[in-house]
Structure 1
Amino acid sequence: MSTPDPNVTPQIGGTSKEGVYDEKTGHGVPQSGSGSLDEVEAYHPQAFGTNQANSVKRNAGYAATFLTQFEVLSGREWKILRRDWTLFLAHIAVSAVLGVFCGGLYFKTDITIAGFQSRVGCLFFLGALIAFSTLSALYHVVEIRPLFLRERSASYYSPTAWLLSRFVFDVIPLRVIPTIVVASITYWMAGLAHDAAHFFKFLFILVLYTLAMTLWNFLLACFFKNGGIAILLSALSALYQMTFAGFFVHLNDIPPVLRWLQWLCPLKYTLEALSVNEVGSGLTIQDTLQGVPVDVSASLIMNLLFGFGANNYYRDVLVLFAFIAGFGLGVIGIVWLKVRERR
């Protein structure tokens, strides 16, 4: 028997999952791949009776529990990923190449003032890379949106179950793992803090930022029907974050009328937390300025050059969690209230 097409909706409530002849009812389910409720009823009326379908539509109930829905949808996502490893392998390969490139660019930075600027530049590069790489998460949602609308109109499963399965099988293989790859290669090549505690705190911040940016792109993809508009706004938001992150311009030098925009910038908190983590390892700047030796704490230079607070690491972690929660609730609300089939 041929392997079922993952784009054909698995019937989570009593119908055949294989899309072939059903011996119990004597009816066949079409294998056209549309998965529409009317088509299934036409070919398989006993497995999904008209009265049951109308009752489901009226009461917005589901024939299976939430866990069963999540299990079936996760199985479909896993089959799609397993049959075509191209995207996953491309993310890993690109992450490894970029990790080597970034690590070579900032290879073994010294502890002078210029070297410290290079360290922060390395951290900024990683944040900007994550902001742009999560654009592919937006494309996936735009691509699968028509299928979700058709299946939701038939009340096959809860939108929350679909969102959760989509998030899990997008974030872990395509976001978290590539982030860990590029960050791990860059970290040791650039000669950042050489101890496990600061390394894992470094990874923790980047993973949080990856989750926040993935959910942000999910939100844009769900809110706008036109994928081009969503992609444009996502790219513009990445440029906005780069502007107000504190690397290109000192945060305290921004005019007051625009300074408040920094508080809405996830990359600002990410870069600050990464910089504070690096300085917290006991980094000391040793340089010579016009023949005068300089030996000063890196936290002082960090505050003078970028305006970052030396004690803001855990505050930044909480703010990133707040962004994740806010974007996540926004995605759920938009999917429930806006992403539905309208006739």
Structure 2
Amino acid sequence: MERGKERPQHHASIEQEMLDLEIQTATEAPAIFKEAIRPVTLKFEDVVYKIKQKNSTKNEEKVILNGVSGLVQPGEILAMLGPSGSGKTTLLTALGGRLDGRLSGAITYNNKPFSNAMKRNTGFVTQDDFLYPHLTVTETLFYTALLRLPNTLSKAKKAMQAEAVIIQLELTKCKNSVVGGEFLRGVSGGERRRVSIGQELLVNPSLLFLDEPTSGLDSTTAQQIVSALWDLASGGRTIVMAIHQPSSRIFYMFHKVVLLSEGNCLYFGKVSEVMDYFSGIGYVPLVAMNPADFLLDLANGLAPDGSHENKSKVKQSLALAYKHNRLYNLKAQLQGEQLQETNSSHFQDGSEDKNFAKWPSTWWQQFSVLLRRGLKERRHESFSGSQINQVVAVALLAGLLWWQSNISHLQDRTGLLFFMSEFWGFFPLLQAIFTFPQERKMLEKERSSGTFMLSSYFISRIVADLPMELALPTLFVTITYWMAGLKPTAGHFFHTLLVLLLSVLVAQGMGLALGALVMDQKKAAVLASVLMVSFLLAGGFFVQHVPAFIAWIKYISIINYSYKLLLGSQYNENDTYPCDSGLCLVRDFPSIKHVGLSGQIGAAVALAIMLVGCRLIAYLALMRTGL
């Protein structure tokens, strides 16, 4: 889709809802958006983080952060500088309350530890923009508002809050454009970045963390992003960001900077004092240069005089100099910092956090919003022309190959039924295994923000997939059944259709379970292929004399049960067919005898158990990953 081009009118229900409020919003929304900024002073002292070495046999630990300290007050922007691997993102994640493991030191928010209430008033923008590509900017922010804003606000107020963010971040021109992604052209990179920031601003956060907010953007767009953040900070917010290599114009928009190198702090303090500090300890740039470039050179161990002094020695010298010259005063400031009392901030009073609602909305509200969002996003994928054409092509091909097959050609007819069970085992399973691996980053982002419960997401995801899962096999059966000349009665047709739909839902559940267990698309695809080939060979059509030591596979085979039920949809125990000796019982035909026409209820129950069991395994697997 072309950038800036609006979506068709029949896709614009939410946009219309927003437009109806726009006149009212233009005057009311900014007031709603700016009210009740609860000031937060962030302090961190002697923060240490260690991880175990993967290949170490002696349980050795690697130090990622080594005693980092600092102080950020309301209205300030703290920039974290350092080369890749210096610990910027780790420190940012720790300060944002999202880091588990061997973390030590003191991190406080208005002299209180991190809490559910503080989490609700914190925004965290990840380095990558994890957004749904087919949703418009307005839809993205509106759905986020419905999920993250509390029930004390009406739906109209939440819509106004979303519109306020659009105005604040200057996204009005692209509000009705799709966000886009890797395979879909949408808004620009800078606009996409502002949408990600806007999602966090919806909760009117007092504390905002950003990981590489200008990554991949040109210098002008990057400056626009930081300028918007500077305006937010001037409104009383506390902003902390990790940034790689800012321009000099951007650098001087920060209030404070922390310089990291291999987990050690080389400087913390005001931006206006940083060059004087390093000059005072003998590190002066020989030519006029961007201060950020100079600091990164120092963090990489490059001496400004261009000498070939050992890099590790330079880093150690800078770390020791910082400890001797500034760290003592900083710690004294941390210990003596007196927070101004406020009356409105419940997260400054730990006693009220016990009664703080963990979720901003009810389970049913979360489910309904996630379902609407999922249906709107995945309709492009589920009912894409390629998938519909694929199913129609296979249905027509099968119908032509088995065109009006004669009732005496029992081998052909059983072959068609087995093909149907096999195709609709593979197809939905291979589609479903990519579900959770593809959405993992998005799910991690929203779950870490406390947006919704895992169960509401899981159920809505399953329900949102039903239209495709039910419509495509229905289309297939409608075409193939009558072309192939299977029993021409409504009862037999709907019996066949219901069996196939049940089989499809079971296969989809197995795909969801495999994807959730492995969480790797390639590995899950390989595992699914091996599993389905095993089910195929043990399905009772190709091999009637399966060795006993491997015959157990048929009891967990989707294809085996669906094939048995499909046979039951066309034949019963007393049906006959023309044979060399006159009339023979269908049940004695080799490819049917092995599977059997009896036990139809047992096969249906087995599939029903697998339908529920596979989804339960998928849910437990997601819980295991910590989502």
The normalised TM-score by structure 1 is: 0.83
In 2, Cα distance between the equivalents of 1:220 and 1:155? 26
Other structure's SS at 1:63 match: coil
Amino acid at match of 1:269: Y
1:283 shift after superposition? 4.1
Pick from 248, 259, 262 the counterpart of residue 542 of structure 2: 248
In 1, Cα distance between the equivalents of 2:555 and 2:519? 29
In 1, Cα distance between the equivalents of 2:426 and 2:454? 27
1:103–1:58 Cα change, 3 Å: farther
Percent identical among aligned pairs is 21
Other structure's SS at 1:254 match: coil
Could you tell me whether the CA contact under 8 Å between 2:558 and 2:607 is conserved in 1? yes
Q: Deviations over 1:187-242 (max 9, x none)?
A: 11111122111211111111111111111111111122321111111111111110
Q: Which deviates the most, 154-163 or 3-12?
A: 3-12
In 1, Cα distance between the equivalents of 2:236 and 2:144? 16
Pick from 490, 493, 496 the counterpart of residue 196 of structure 1: 490
Amino acid at match of 1:313: Q
Tell me which residue corresponds to 1:152: 447
Say whether residues 1:96 and 2:392 are aligned partners.
yes
Say whether residues 1:183 and 2:477 are aligned partners.
yes
1:37 shift after superposition? 5.3
In 1, Cα distance between the equivalents of 2:601 and 2:539? 17
Higher share in strand: 2
1:45–1:142 Cα change, 3 Å: farther
Other structure's SS at 1:21 match: helix
Q: Deviations over 1:265-318 (max 9, x none)?
A: 111011011112211296421133xxxx4211212225x654122222221111
1:19–1:319 Cα change, 3 Å: same
Q: Which deviates the most, 135-144 or 217-226?
A: 135-144
In 2, Cα distance between the equivalents of 1:179 and 1:197? 17
Could you tell me whether the CA contact under 8 Å between 2:586 and 2:592 is conserved in 1? no
In 2, Cα distance between the equivalents of 1:57 and 1:182? 55
In 2, Cα distance between the equivalents of 1:58 and 1:125? 58
Could you tell me whether the CA contact under 8 Å between 2:371 and 2:460 is conserved in 1? yes
Tell me which residue corresponds to 1:324: 611
Higher share in helix: 1
Could you tell me whether the CA contact under 8 Å between 1:99 and 1:183 is conserved in 2? yes
Tell me which residue corresponds to 1:10: 144
Pick from 21, 30, 38 the counterpart of residue 164 of structure 2: 21
1:305–1:74 Cα change, 3 Å: closer
In 2, Cα distance between the equivalents of 1:227 and 1:98? 25
Which of 1 and 2 has greater Rg?
Answer: 2
Other structure's SS at 1:10 match: helix
In 2, Cα distance between the equivalents of 1:6 and 1:339? 28
1:65–1:305 Cα change, 3 Å: closer
Could you tell me whether the CA contact under 8 Å between 1:111 and 1:284 is conserved in 2? no
Pick from 572, 577, 595 the counterpart of residue 285 of structure 1: 577
Q: Deviations over 1:54-83 (max 9, x none)?
A: 99999893111111001111121122135x
Pick from 123, 138, 143 the counterpart of residue 417 of structure 2: 123
1:163 shift after superposition? 1.1
In 2, Cα distance between the equivalents of 1:300 and 1:32? 65
In 1, Cα distance between the equivalents of 2:576 and 2:420? 23
Other structure's SS at 2:195 match: coil
1:106–1:37 Cα change, 3 Å: same
Q: Deviations over 1:115-166 (max 9, x none)?
A: 1111111011112211221112222332221101111111110111111111
- Equivalent pairs, count: 324
Q: Which runs of 5+ in 2 are unaligned?
A: 1-14, 19-135, 151-157, 172-192, 209-231, 238-344
Tell me which residue corresponds to 1:61: 358
Tell me which residue corresponds to 1:223: 517
Could you tell me whether the CA contact under 8 Å between 1:137 and 1:214 is conserved in 2? yes
In 2, Cα distance between the equivalents of 1:45 and 1:100? 65
1:307–1:35 Cα change, 3 Å: farther
Amino acid at match of 2:444: L
1:236–1:339 Cα change, 3 Å: farther
In 2, Cα distance between the equivalents of 1:126 and 1:7? 39
Pick from 133, 138, 142 the counterpart of residue 437 of structure 2: 142
Q: Deviations over 1:98-123 (max 9, x none)?
A: 111111111111233xx111111101
Higher relative contact order (CA 8 A, sep 6+): 1
1:4 shift after superposition? 2.6
1:93 shift after superposition? 2.2
Could you tell me whether the CA contact under 8 Å between 1:287 and 1:294 is conserved in 2? yes
1:161–1:116 Cα change, 3 Å: same
